[in-house]
Each structure stands twice: as C-alpha cells, then as structure tokens.
Amino acid sequence: MTDTQVRVKVVEARQLEGSNVHPVCKLTLFGETKTTRVKKATGNPIWNEVFYYSNNISPAEIVDEMINFEVYNSKKLRSDALIGSFSCDCGLVYAMSKHTVLNKWLLLSDSEDQSGVRGYLKICMAILGPGDEAPSFKAKPGDAEHEDIESNLLMPAGMTLAPANFILKAYSAEDLPRMDSAMMEGVKKFLVLESKNLKN
C-alpha cells in the first residue's frame, strides 16, 4: 500500500441549464465530498478552486475508484437542485500522460435522462504517488471566451453528440469582393450550392 494523493482543480462551468442559477460544484472521491463556493446568478461560474484527496491505496486499486462531479443550483430554503453531473473512474486519468488531465471539459448530463447536455465543467486532475512531481494547474494561454469546448471534451459512457446541419440560403448579395478560383473551390467543399431562376 502506498499513500496516493489526488488533486482536482474545478476551474469553471459554461452554459449551465436554467436561468438565474446559483451554481455550486460537489466532488466525491473515496467516500468524501468536497464543495466549491456558491456563485450567485450566473450560468458561467468561475471557481478556480483546488481540492486534495489522500488515501492509503495502491495505483492498481485507484483505477477502479469512481470520482463524481455534480453541479447544483444552490437554494437557501430548499434542498439544492441538481443541474448536471459527470462520473468516471480514476483509471481514465491514470492512463493519461503523467497521470494528469489538464483543462479538460466534462459534459454534464442528468443520469436519469442522458438525452441532453446540461452544461460543461472544466477541470484539472492529477493522481500522485510517492515522489511524483505535482503538475501546474495554470490555465492555458489564449482566448478563454472563444475556447472550443467540443474538441476538448470528455463525455459520459454511452452518450454521443448528434451532428448538426445548418442550411443557409442567400437570395441576394451586393458589393462582394472578387474571389480567386482556388479559394472558391475550398468554399464549395463545405457548401451545397443550389441555384434557382427567380422571376420578378
């Protein structure tokens, strides 16, 4: 048996379902639940809080331990209402390079109804054994507002995102700059052009 430490940073959440929510995130590992601060009236809370879990457990045993992330709408007089959750075993993180996940988005869903997305939660997580060096949980540089969540997303088992098709019809355009043919060929790959004769 060795003393294993799990460090988890709850960075932020985005696009939480509901209006005028007061989000709080609860993490459960080794039967111990830890809670972030409540953020008032926002669907995009930023926490940047780090939590530490320790257990006298071997790396072979930790891979089967489940970690649960639950985001609630905090209510003063009634019990908190679950917005969405994500669960995975620690083996998912242990299999990553240096047993670390950095700035990864988790898809929050309802365990009763996995048909829809309830929001996204950004986390960092590391599993450290004796002598392991702790990674830096600093955010990546770049424009966080326009970060592509879907390209850096972990989803619950059995859930898939359905692709979407957008149909755009342009009826008229004026004063367009002249385009070279090479650029137009690249655009045609992504567009299905349909022309119709319109009568006045």
Residue by residue, what is the 3-state secondary structure of 8-19? EEEEEEECCCCC
**103: left (phi > 0), else alpha (psi -120 to 50), else beta?**
left
Would you kindly state where each structural domain of the chain is located, as residue ranges? 3-154
Q: pTM, whole model, 2 decimals?
A: 0.78
Nearest to 28 by CA among 59, 58, 46, 6: 6
pLDDT at 112: 80
pLDDT in tens, the chain (200 residues): 678 999 999 999 999 998 889 999 999 999 999 999 999 999 999 999 999 999 999 877 899 999 999 999 998 778 889 999 999 999 999 999 999 999 999 999 987 876 789 999 999 999 998 889 999 998 765 556 678 888 888 887 666 666 667 787 877 878 777 766 666 666 566 555 555 554 44
Q: Which fold has domain 3-154?
A: Immunoglobulin-like (2.60.40)
